[in-house]
């Protein structure tokens, strides 16, 4: 399963202008010029060593951190590095994450020369909710300004990232957030329930457990409101105008290999999942070594290495594929594993179809609306061990 070279790359930019209270990703809460220069040097080294593992790219996703927190000259150098070491298919999707308060006219002009999709980390339009999750204060018109700058430079494939079930948020508040998002005419919305991860500031505050009933009602509201406005759900937490689904993330959900570059970036290659080292000094020291060959250096960069068994590959095929509304193709399962989906999961599928949680039509298996509502329970039924 998927041992071919990669057409999909993720680049992790670890710098931010502050640390959000919910963020569990590796990031540094300031943009220190010396640290940024050193990071770019090592990133180029990483790209030079790994580029042989890639084909001409179909998708590139630059995330973080906050990529648009980088100074303009640093952004220019980042794109020079990526374009030096990778080539791109015609029509390749090149995405970057953006916080509205960190975008300037100069940065928007730079992005327009290199990317064709922007994912804007709004999280909430309300200053009081943003403050509760540690988002830095911003101008009340920051989102409108960022949208204007991007569109003025020819970027109109723009999405919002939103978080619901924030502390003190009501269902009515969330509906207002969705209405506000729709009023801006974006092409894509990702909507995730607030997750309190160990090691974050929110976890240290000892917030009460999530109100599952309210969170579910907010999730249902997103589906109804966004679908009614021409943005159907295409994955459990993602909505898009037709043709504006995120191709890069769709590849994640279909088990396509990808390579991650930068501190803490995750990769999936030759049935192995791993992350680059999260400790910056270790990461930079390994990439600075002169005497080791490329494969030795790349192996030493990795941590949390997990080589999947055949059973785990099958489980993941179902777990990820069923998150998408179009589900999975029986033919693709058979081509990948040289066995029938029914042979492996026949009794589970029959039970869930009979109970109305799955549908099997035209050779595709997908969750029904009832199955989506209890997807975590349904997906656990496909565990083989």
What pLDDT does residue 137 have? 62
Q: SS3 of 174, please?
A: helix
Map 111-130 to HEC letters: HHHHCCEEEEEEECCCHHHH
Cβ–Cβ under 8 Å, residues 96 and 67: yes
Mention every residue, 6+ apart, whose C-beta is less than 8 A from residue 84: 44, 47
C-alpha distance from residue 183 to each of 97, 130, 186, 316 (Å): 21, 19, 8, 37
The answer for residues whose C-beta is within 8 angstroms of residue 73's C-beta and 6 or more apart is: none
Q: Which phi and psi (to 5°) does residue 173 adopt?
A: -60, -45
Nearest alpha carbon to residue 281 among 299, 297, 302, 263: 263
- Check residue 292 and give its pLDDT: 67
Query: Is the pLDDT at 3 greater than 80, yes or no?
Result: no
Residue 21: what pLDDT? 72
- pLDDT band at residue 200 under the 50/70/90 scheme: confident
Rounded Cα distance, 72 and 3, in Å: 37
pLDDT at residue 2 tops 70? no
Q: 16-72, pLDDT tens digit by residue?
A: 887 777 777 777 878 899 999 999 998 998 888 877 778 899 999 999 889 999 999
Place of tokens 């349904």: 378
Residue 294 confidence (pLDDT) above 70 = no
For residue 369, what are the contacts with CB-CB under 8 A and spacing of at least 6? none
pLDDT at residue number 5: 73
User: What are the CA-CA distances from residue 368 to residues 14, 273, 324, 325 (Å)?
Assistant: 38, 30, 11, 9
CA-CA-CA-CA dihedral for 138, 114, 253, 162, to nearest 10: 10
The 10s digit of each residue's pLDDT in 226-280 is: 999 999 999 999 999 999 999 999 999 998 999 999 888 999 998 999 999 888 8
Query: How do residues 183-196 score in pLDDT, each as one tens digit?
Result: 999 999 999 999 87
- What gap in Å lies between CA 234 and CA 366, rounded to an integer? 12
Distances in Å between the Cα of 221 and the Cα atoms of 82, 173, 232, 241 are 40, 11, 12, 17
pLDDT at 1 over 50: no
Looking at residue 207, the DSSP 8-state letter turns out to be P
In order of their start, the domains of the chain are: 6-253 (3.20.20.70), 310-380 (1.10.10)
């Amino acid at each position: 399963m998927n041992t071919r070279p990669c057409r999909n790359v993720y680049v992790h930019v670890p710098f931010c202008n502050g640390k959000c209270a919910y963020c569990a990703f590796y990031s540094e809460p300031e943009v220190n010029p010396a640290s940024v220069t050193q990071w770019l040097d090592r990133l180029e080294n990483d790209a030079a060593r790994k580029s042989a593992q890639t084909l001409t790219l179909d998708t590139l996703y630059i995330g973080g951190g906050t990529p648009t927190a980088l100074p303009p000259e640093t952004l220019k150098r980042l794109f020079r590095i990526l374009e030096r070491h990778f080539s791109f298919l015609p029509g390749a999707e090149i995405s970057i994450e953006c916080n509205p308060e960190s975008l300037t006219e100069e940065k928007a002009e730079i992005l327009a020369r290199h990317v064709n999709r922007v994912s804007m980390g709004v999280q909430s339009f309300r200053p009081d909710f943003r403050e509760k999750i540690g988002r830095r204060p911003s101008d009340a018109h920051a989102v409108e300004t960022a949208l204007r700058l991007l569109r003025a430079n020819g970027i109109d494939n723009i999405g919002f990232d939103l978080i619901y079930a924030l502390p003190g948020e009501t269902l009515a508040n969330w509906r207002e957030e969705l209405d506000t998002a729709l009023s801006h005419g974006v092409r894509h919305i990702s909507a995730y329930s607030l997750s309190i991860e160990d090691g974050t500031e929110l976890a240290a505050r000892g917030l009460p457990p999530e109100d599952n009933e309210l969170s579910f009602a907010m999730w249902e509201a997103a589906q109804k409101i966004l679908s009614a406005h021409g943005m159907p759900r295409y994955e459990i937490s993602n909505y898009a105008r037709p043709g504006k689904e995120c191709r890069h993330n769709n590849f994640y959900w279909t088990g396509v290999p990808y390579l991650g570059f930068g501190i803490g970036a995750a990769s999936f290659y030759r049935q192995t999942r791993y992350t680059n080292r999260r400790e910056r000094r270790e990461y930079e020291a390994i990439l600075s070594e002169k005497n080791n060959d490329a494969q030795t250096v790349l192996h030493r960069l990795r941590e949390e290495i997990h080589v999947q068994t055949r059973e785990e590959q099958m489980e993941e095929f179902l777990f990820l594929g069923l998150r998408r509304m179009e589900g999975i193709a029986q033919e693709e399962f058979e081509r990948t594993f040289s066995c029938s989906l029914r042979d492996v999961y026949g009794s589970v599928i029959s039970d869930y179809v009979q109970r109305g949680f799955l549908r099997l039509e035209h050779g595709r298996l997908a969750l029904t609306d009832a199955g989506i509502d209890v997807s975590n329970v349904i997906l656990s039924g496909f565990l083989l061990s």
